[in-house]
Amino acid sequence: MRSSLGERSLLAVNNLLLALFALSALYPFVYMTALSFNEGLDSVKGGIYLWPREFTWVNVQTVVSNPLVRDAFWISILRTVTGTAIGVIVTGLAAYGLSFRLLPARKFLMVYFLIPMLFSGGLIPYFIVLRDLHLINTFWVYIIPTALSVWNLIVMRSFFENIPEALIEAAEIDGANALTIFWKIVIPTSMPMIAAITLFTAVMHWNSWFDGAFFVNQLELKPLQTFLQSMLANAEAAENLRQGVNAESIGAEASKAVTPTSLRMSVVVLGTIPVLLIYPFLQKYFVQGVMIGSVKG
Amino acid sequence: MRGNSTNMNAISQAVRTTAGSQVWKRLWKFRWQFAMILPGMVAVFLFNYMPMGGIQVAFREYDIFAGVWESPWVGLEHFSFVSDPEFWKVFKNTIWITVLKFLFGFPAPIVLAIMLNEIRSRRFKRIVQSLTYMPHFVSWIIIAYIVEAMLAQSNGLVNHLLASAGVEKIYFMGEEGWFRPIIVLTSIWKEVGWGSIIYLAAIAGIDPQLYDAAKVDGAGKWKQVWNVTLPNMLPTISIMLILTIPTLLNAGFDQIFPLQNPVNLPISEVVDTYVVRTGLNLGYYGPAAAIGLATGILQLLLVIGANSLSRRTGGSRLF
């Protein structure tokens, strides 16, 4: 069937609007990357839209050699790796245990895990608990309190419930215990879902800034996003970034062209790139993950 | 008779012990599963249930050395915020933002999904999808920098463009009036692509014969969307609507806090940021915990309301 002229122009407008919106989602990252690779003083004049006019590594070099930024970056990496591993393991194990239909007290246990979704004690009592447990001002305040995610627990449990029982029974007959079955059968068959949950957890950790801002005082323990947040609130903090400028290695002329804005943009790029780099590879998994969560949740 | 009853006793005794040992047997059979659940149970107890017990702080004069359980009771003193006009202003700000976000943010992914569905080229569709999902994975802190880079008065991109077009520059972050539009727009920009995934799946599940039938009846594109696509998305839309209700008190701390400044504070201060400022920054634990408790209860009522609404509309219960 041939479509009418009206319909074809409607389609064209639709495609155009979508293309514009998609570009608007991409553009700010392009813009900030261009600024972070452009000479700071030159950027002030404006007119940089897509790529650097006076290309330079100085901004990025300055930021990367700054000890504060470097510490923050490593804390972010460390918390993302550790927090994701512990979070996925603790949540996944609990979800698997709860997926057994004959488990005694299963109803009670599910209610126990679901109540926190309905009601929470609020921030202040939470903070007091963290302090009573001596987690304040430690690295572990990033890891332990988020080890169990109720939402992920629900998603993972409903996925595990749908694994064919025949697979598991066969292994039971062979004398495998629950842990072996989990490791040898359940994990391999649930890989796409686990990949999605892992991605979500990792992104959550990488992007967290609240805990670093309010539960930790030491600068050397703050993750990159908290560092960025403190720089946002305090314009002078960007000046501190210049500490890293090593006039000898970069050259006095070049280091003079560095501006607070160009340095800030470089840290922003540093804070964005890891997520944007891994994301295209995992796209097919996370779409699946959303669907599992929504259909079953 | 007597012999009979002792007999019965013995039997019931035996039944009871075997029942008892059967319970143990069942528990023992599932020992691995319990061991797997235990770490998660402990974490939930420590970080979800213990704070619930800590709500007492709202009724006590919290003394850091005495601890939660030994601090003196002060009754409802900390709930004096209900007669504080400052609090109600903050509450009003919260409702403004959540309602605006709901009005514009809820339909946005539905519209986007319908538009995406009309794309013929698979490649183009994939690219558009990938790009629109992207901002979802970026932190609100980065978004705040993007807002700054785009809207700053002196060297923001938008003002550069305005200036080169001969229009006077606008100080977006320095005027109260721009705050709410910025919040609503950035939240749509960040989440609309991600939110469209579920609606795309709903559209994909529609029987193509329905469209063929509509075409035979002479329905154009608009009519097809209106009479076929939207009605078939309705179950998904109503589920999402119900899931949104409990968030109606949540203005979005992570988004708002980084964008606050002294100028927009009269409009940008919401309940969550107020609790952080008075509680964590200034140390007024009691009043902040009291506000936290009040919002927690309101939130619970919203969840219960959403759940009964879901049941009444024939949908499944949420919990």
Q: What is the pLDDT of residues B81-125, one digit of tens each?
A: 989 999 999 999 999 999 999 999 999 999 999 999 999 898 999
Task: Report, as an integer, the average pLDDT of B34-59.
Answer: 95
Report yes or no: B21 at the A interface, CB cutoff 8 Å: no
Helical (H) or strand (E) element with A239: helix A235-240
The answer as to whether A191 is a domain residue is yes
CATH code: domain of residue A247: 1.10.3720.10
Instruction: State the residue range of the domain holding B33.
Output: 2-50
A132 φ/ψ sector (left φ>0, alpha ψ -120 to 50, else beta): alpha
Render pLDDT for A154-198 as a digit per residue (tens, 0 to 9): 989 988 988 888 888 888 888 887 778 888 888 888 888 898 899
Instruction: State the residue range of the domain holding A158.
Output: 63-296
DSSP string covering A134-162, please?
T-TTSGGGGTSTTS--HHHHHHHHHHHHT
- Residue B105 sits in the same domain as residue B145: yes
The answer as to whether B171 is a domain residue is yes
Task: Report, as an integer, the average pLDDT of A58-74.
Answer: 88
Structure tokens at A287: 């779409």
Nearest-CA distance from B14 to chain A in Å? 22
The answer as to whether B69 is a domain residue is no
Render pLDDT for A124-158 as a digit per residue (tens, 0 to 9): 999 999 999 999 999 999 999 999 999 999 989 98
Residue A94, pLDDT score:
96
Structure tokens at A71: 């510490």
The answer as to whether A257 is a domain residue is yes
The answer as to whether A275 is a domain residue is yes
Mean model confidence pLDDT for chain A: 85
Best of A102, A124, A133, A261 to disrupt the B interface (most B CBs within 10 Å) is A124
The answer as to whether B72 is a domain residue is no
- Residue B90 sits in the same domain as residue B229: yes
Residue A296, pLDDT score:
41
CATH code: domain of residue B131: 1.10.3720.10
Question: pLDDT band for position B1 (50/70/90)?
Answer: very low
Residue B2, pLDDT score:
47
The count of domains in chain B is 2
Residue A209: which of B133, B138, B141 has the nearest Cβ?
B141
Residue A25: which of B131, B144, B319 has the nearest Cβ?
B131
The answer as to whether B280 is a domain residue is yes
The answer as to whether A204 is a domain residue is yes
- Residue B143 sits in the same domain as residue B279: yes
The answer as to whether A27 is a domain residue is no
Percent of chain A topping pLDDT 70: 87
What is the rounded distance in angstroms from the CA atom of residue A151 to the CA atom of residue B85? Answer: 37
Render pLDDT for A211-239 as a digit per residue (tens, 0 to 9): 999 999 998 999 999 999 988 877 666 66
Best of B38, B137, B247 to disrupt the A interface (most A CBs within 10 Å) is B137
pTM over 0.80: yes
Render pLDDT for B176-202 as a digit per residue (tens, 0 to 9): 889 999 999 999 999 999 999 999 989
The answer as to whether A253 is a domain residue is yes
What is the rounded distance in angstroms from the CA atom of residue A238 to the CA atom of residue A219? Answer: 15
A53 or A75: whose pLDDT is higher?
A75
Please say if the pLDDT value at position A113 is more than 90. Answer: yes
Percent of chain B topping pLDDT 90: 51
- Residue B33 sits in the same domain as residue B128: no
Residue pair B36/A93 in contact (Cβ under 8 Å)? The answer is yes
Helical (H) or strand (E) element with B237: helix B230-244
Residue A293, pLDDT score:
54
Nearest CA in chain A to B63: A128
A window 33-92, beta carbon within 8 A of B: 35, 43-44, 46-47, 49, 90-91
- Residue B96 sits in the same domain as residue B213: yes
- Residue B127 sits in the same domain as residue B232: yes
- Residue B130 sits in the same domain as residue B6: no
Query: Could you tell me which of A150, A268, A274, A281 has the C-alpha nearest to residue A206?
Result: A274
Residue A238, pLDDT score:
67
Question: pLDDT band for position A297 (50/70/90)?
Answer: very low
Residue pair B199/B232 in contact (Cβ under 8 Å)? The answer is no
The answer as to whether A149 is a domain residue is yes
- Residue B9 sits in the same domain as residue B96: no
Query: Could you tell me which of B283, B196, B101, B258 has the C-alpha nearest to residue A124?
Result: B283
Please say if the pLDDT value at position B48 is more than 60. Answer: yes
Are the beta carbons of B131 and A119 separated by less than 8 Å? no
- Residue B153 sits in the same domain as residue B295: yes
Residue A144 DSSP class: S
How far is C-alpha B88 from the chain's CA centre?
A: 22
The count of domains in chain A is 1
User: Which residues, 6+ apart, have CB-to-CB distance to B293 below 8 Å?
Assistant: A122, B55, B58
Query: Could you tell me which of B240, B247, B100 has the C-alpha nearest to residue B179?
Result: B100
Residue B60: what are its φ and ψ, rounded to 5°?
-125, 160
The answer as to whether A9 is a domain residue is no
Please say if the pLDDT value at position B315 is more than 80. Answer: no
What is the rounded distance in angstroms from the CA atom of residue A128 to the CA atom of residue B292? Answer: 14
The answer as to whether B264 is a domain residue is yes
The answer as to whether B266 is a domain residue is yes
What is the rounded distance in angstroms from the CA atom of residue A47 to the CA atom of residue A35? Answer: 10
ipTM, 2 dp? 0.88
The answer as to whether B57 is a domain residue is no
What is the rounded distance in angstroms from the CA atom of residue A69 to the CA atom of residue A142? Answer: 18
